[in-house]
Structure 1
Amino acid sequence: MASVTVANARKSYGHFEVLHGVDIDIQDGEFVILVGPSGCGKSTLLRMIAGLEEISGGRISIGSKIVNNVAPKERDIAMVFQSYALYPHLTVEANMGFSLRLAKAPKEETRRRVREAAQILGLESLLERYPRNLSGGQRQRVAMGRAIVRNPQVFLFDEPLSNLDAKLRVQMRSEIKQLHQRLKTTTIYVTHDQIEAMTMADRIVVMRDGSVEQIGSPLDLYDCPANLFVAGFIGSPGMNFIHGKVSSSGPLEFIARGGAKLPLPENLSVARGSEIIYGIRPEHLSIGAGSVAAKVILTEPTGAETQLTAKLGSDNVIVSVRDRLDVRPGDSLLLAPDLDKIHLFDARTEKRLHSN
C-alpha cells in the first residue's frame, strides 16, 4: 500500500487546459472519491494517476516515488473500468489470473492468488464459467478480482457501477466498501453519483471545471459546504436555495424575492441590504411550527418519507417529512427553518458566509 500525492497537476490538450493545478494528498489505506459533473476532469485525473494520460505540469507521486514519467505497468496500481473489459474466450479463472500469467508468475502462485480473490468476492463456484454466462454484477466482481490478484499499492476505479441497475448498484457499493475495509488498500474512485461518494468514501474531492472545489469527509461536505456549488451537488434531494437579501432596517431577517421573511442568525457579519442566497436542506424545514408561508405544488410519497415541493416567494423548495400528511397541491403551509442548520452564501461570489 502507498500514499498518493497530486501536486499542482495540470493537463492540457494543445492550448485547452482541462485541469488547472490540482492538489490532493491521499493517505496510505484511504478511500478517496473524486466526484463532480460530467466534464469536470475527474476521469482525466484518474487516468493521469494510472499513467494512461501524460501529465502536462505538476507532480504525481505514489509512495515516495514521482511517477510522472513512469510507465503504467511499473506504477504498481490496478484499475477497474466502467466496462468490464473481460476476455470473452477465457474462463473467470483465466480472466482473473491473466496479468499474473503475463508476468510469468508460477502457476501454483497464480492459482492460489486467484482462489483467494475468488473467495473474497464469492466467485468460487463461477471460476469455470465464461463472461457470457455471468450477470452484470458477477462480471464486475471478476473485474475487481483481476485487480485484487495483482496485490497493488493502489486501486483505481473509474465509474465501475455505471452499467448496473439501481438495486445492483446498492449491493455493489456495499461490497466494494467491505472489500476496502478488508484489504486496506489505498483506493481512488471516480463517480458522478454523489450518493456513491457519500456512502463509500473516507474523504470526497468535489471537482468542477478542472479545479477542486472542496475536500473533506462526507459529513463535513454535507454540513459545511464551502460554496454554492458544493452545497447543491452534495445531498439528495438537493439543498433548497432561496434568493433575496438581508433586511435594510428593523429586525435582522432574510427577505426573499416575493416578500417572504425568514430568520437569520444574530452573529451574521454581513452588511444590511446585501444580496445573499439562503440555503436549507429539505429535512431541516418543519411544517406547522413557523410563520413562513408556502403553497404546495407537488407531493411525492416514497414510503419512509414524503417529499413536498412548495412555492416560497419566487423560489420552489422541497420539504422532507416522515409523518403521513394529508396534503394536496394548492394547500398552504407554514414552514419553520432550523436556524442552526441554515447555510448562507454571497450572491455574487457564491462563497459561504456563515458557519454554524
Structure 2
Amino acid sequence: MAHVSVNNARKDYGAFKAIKGVSVDIGDGEFVVLVGPSGCGKSTLLRMIAGLEGITSGQIQIGKHIVNELAPKDRDIAMVFQNYALYPHMTVAKNMGFSLRLKRMPRSEIDHRVGNAAKILGLENLLERYPKQLSGGQRQRVAMGRAIVRDPAVFLFDEPLSNLDAKLRVQMRSEIKELHQRLQTTTIYVTHDQIEAMTMADKIVVMKDGLIEQSGSPLELYDRPSNLFVAGFIGSPAMNFIKGSMTEDGFRTEDGLLLPSERRPRDAVIYGIRPEHISLDPDGIEVTTIVVEPTGSETLVLVRLGGQTLTCVFRERIRAAPGDVLRIAPIHDAVHLFGADEQRIATGEALLS
C-alpha cells in the first residue's frame, strides 16, 4: 500500500489546459474514484499518476517518492485499461505473468503469483485459454489478474467496465470492490458513471473542466453537494432544479408558484429537490402527469409543474396516466437552495444531522 499525493498538478497541451491545478490526497488502502463528464480531465490525471502523461507543473508523490520524472515501470503501480490490452497470442497464464517475466523473476515465483491471482479471480480453469476464447467479463478478470501479480503499491483503473453490458457491469463492480476489501491496496478508479462511483468508492473526487468541484465520501456528496454541478451530477435520477426567488412565505418559482422552504436566504434563486424526496400529498402542489415508468420496487413519474418538468420517485405503486393530476409535496428538510453563483446556500436540517 502507499499514500498518493497530487499537489497543484497542471497539464497543458499547447494552449489547452487539461488539468488546471489539481490537488488531492489518497490515503493508504483507500479506494478513490475520479468521476466527471467526458473531457473533464479525470483520465488525464490518472495517466499523469501512472507516468503515461508528463506533468506540466506541480508534484505527484507515491509513498515516499516524488515520481514526476520516474518512468511508469519504476512507480510501483499497476494499471487496468478500458480495452483490457491483452496479448492475443498468449494464454491467460502468460498474459498474467508477462510483466514478471520481463523482470526475469524465477519461473516458480511467477507460477505461484499467477496461481494465487487466478484463484482470487476464479480463473483457475481458464489459464490455458487465449483471449479470443473468453467472454468480456473473463477478459476483464485477466486484466485485473495481470495487475494483481505485480503486487503493486497502487492500482489504477481507467473506466474498466465501460465495454461490458449492464448486468455484467453490476457484477464486476462488486467483484472489484470485494477484491479491494481483500487486498487493501490503494486504488484510484476513473469512471464517468456516478452509480459506479457511489457504490464503489471510499472517497469520490468530482471533476469538471480540469478542476476538482468537490471531494468526499459518497453520502457526503449526495447529501451536501457544494454546488449546482455536483448536485446534478451525483444521484440517479438527477436532482430537480427550479428557478425562482425567495420570499417571506417560501420559494416563488418563475411561474409564480409557491414552494415550501423552512430556510429562507434572500439570495436563493434555485430550489433543488431529489426525486425520492418528493411524496404524494392530498394537500400538496398540483402537477400534471407526463410519463409513468413502473420498475417494480418503485415508480418513476415525470410531472409538469407550471413550465417546469420534475422527476419523482415513489416507493408505492400508483395508477396514473399522462394528463392525470397528482398532488405532491417536497420533504421540507431535504430541500437544497443555491445562489446565483450556483453555490449551495442551505441544505435541509435532516441531511446535516
Coarse TM-score class (shorter-chain normalised):
over 0.9
Corresponding position of 2:280: 287
List structure 1 runs of 4+ shifted beyond 3 angstroms: none
Partner residue of 2:305 out of 312, 319, 331: 312
Give the secondary-structure state (helix, strand or coil) at the position aligned to 1:111: helix
Are 1:182 and 2:182 matched, yes or no?
yes
Paired residue type of 2:151: N
* Aligned mates of 1:62, 1:115 — CA distance in 2: 28
Paired residue type of 1:301: P
* Aligned mates of 1:244, 1:58 — CA distance in 2: 42
Corresponding position of 1:208: 208
Corresponding position of 2:225: 225
* Aligned mates of 1:119, 1:240 — CA distance in 2: 46
Q: Cα offset for 1:303?
A: 1.4
CA distances 1:53-79 after superposition (whole Å, capped 9, x unpaired)? 000011000011110011110000000
User: In the superposition, relative to structure 1, how do residues 340 and 275 fare at CA in structure 2: closer, same or farther (>3 Å)?
Assistant: closer
Corresponding position of 2:97: 97
CA distances 1:222-267 after superposition (whole Å, capped 9, x unpaired)? 00100000000000100011111112xxx4301112122111124x
Q: Cα offset for 1:290?
A: 3.8
* Aligned mates of 1:21, 1:143 — CA distance in 2: 32
* Aligned mates of 2:28, 2:344 — CA distance in 1: 31
Corresponding position of 1:57: 57
Give the secondary-structure state (helix, strand or coil) at the position aligned to 2:199: helix
Q: Which runs of 5+ in 1 are unaligned?
A: none
Give the secondary-structure state (helix, strand or coil) at the position aligned to 2:175: helix
* Aligned mates of 1:214, 1:243 — CA distance in 2: 23
Between stretches 42-51 and 322-331, larger displacement belongs to 322-331
User: In the superposition, relative to structure 1, how do residues 215 and 290 fare at CA in structure 2: closer, same or farther (>3 Å)?
Assistant: farther
Partner residue of 2:317 out of 316, 319, 324: 324
Corresponding position of 1:161: 161
Q: Which runs of 5+ in 2 are unaligned?
A: none
Partner residue of 2:337 out of 330, 341, 344: 344
User: In the superposition, relative to structure 1, how do residues 240 and 290 fare at CA in structure 2: closer, same or farther (>3 Å)?
Assistant: farther
Corresponding position of 1:112: 112
* Aligned mates of 1:225, 1:83 — CA distance in 2: 33
Paired residue type of 1:174: S
CA distances 1:295-324 after superposition (whole Å, capped 9, x unpaired)? 111111111111000011221111101211
* Aligned mates of 2:333, 2:127 — CA distance in 1: 54
**Residues 285 and 328, structure 2, Cα contact 8 Å, conserved in 1:** yes
**Residues 137 and 168, structure 1, Cα contact 8 Å, conserved in 2:** yes
Paired residue type of 2:296: G
Paired residue type of 1:168: L
Q: Sequence identity of aligned pairs in percent?
A: 65
* Aligned mates of 2:277, 2:13 — CA distance in 1: 44
CA distances 1:154-179 after superposition (whole Å, capped 9, x unpaired)? 00000000000000000000000000
> How many residues are paired up?
348
**Residues 243 and 315, structure 1, Cα contact 8 Å, conserved in 2:** no
Q: CA RMSD in A?
A: 0.9
* Aligned mates of 1:3, 1:133 — CA distance in 2: 38
Give the secondary-structure state (helix, strand or coil) at the position aligned to 1:37: coil
Give the secondary-structure state (helix, strand or coil) at the position aligned to 1:349: coil
With the length of structure 1 as denominator, give the TM-score of the two structures: 0.96
Partner residue of 1:258 out of 255, 259, 262: 255
* Aligned mates of 1:311, 1:117 — CA distance in 2: 53
* Aligned mates of 2:157, 2:183 — CA distance in 1: 15
1:290-301 equivalent positions in 2, closer than 5 A: 290-301=283-294
* Aligned mates of 2:241, 2:286 — CA distance in 1: 16
* Aligned mates of 2:179, 2:249 — CA distance in 1: 51
Corresponding position of 1:353: 345
User: In the superposition, relative to structure 1, how do residues 289 and 220 fare at CA in structure 2: closer, same or farther (>3 Å)?
Assistant: farther
Paired residue type of 1:350: E
**Residues 260 and 293, structure 1, Cα contact 8 Å, conserved in 2:** no
CA distances 1:32-62 after superposition (whole Å, capped 9, x unpaired)? 0000000000000000000000000110000
Give the secondary-structure state (helix, strand or coil) at the position aligned to 1:58: strand
* Aligned mates of 2:332, 2:285 — CA distance in 1: 13
CA distances 1:128-184 after superposition (whole Å, capped 9, x unpaired)? 111110000000000000000000000000000000000000000000000000000
**Residues 269 and 337, structure 2, Cα contact 8 Å, conserved in 1:** yes
User: In the superposition, relative to structure 1, how do residues 289 and 60 fare at CA in structure 2: closer, same or farther (>3 Å)?
Assistant: farther
1:77-92 equivalent positions in 2, closer than 5 A: 77-92=77-92
Q: Cα offset for 1:15?
A: 1.9
1:125-136 equivalent positions in 2, closer than 5 A: 125-136=125-136
Q: Cα offset for 1:275?
A: 5.3
With the length of structure 2 as denominator, give the TM-score of the two structures: 0.97
Paired residue type of 1:70: L
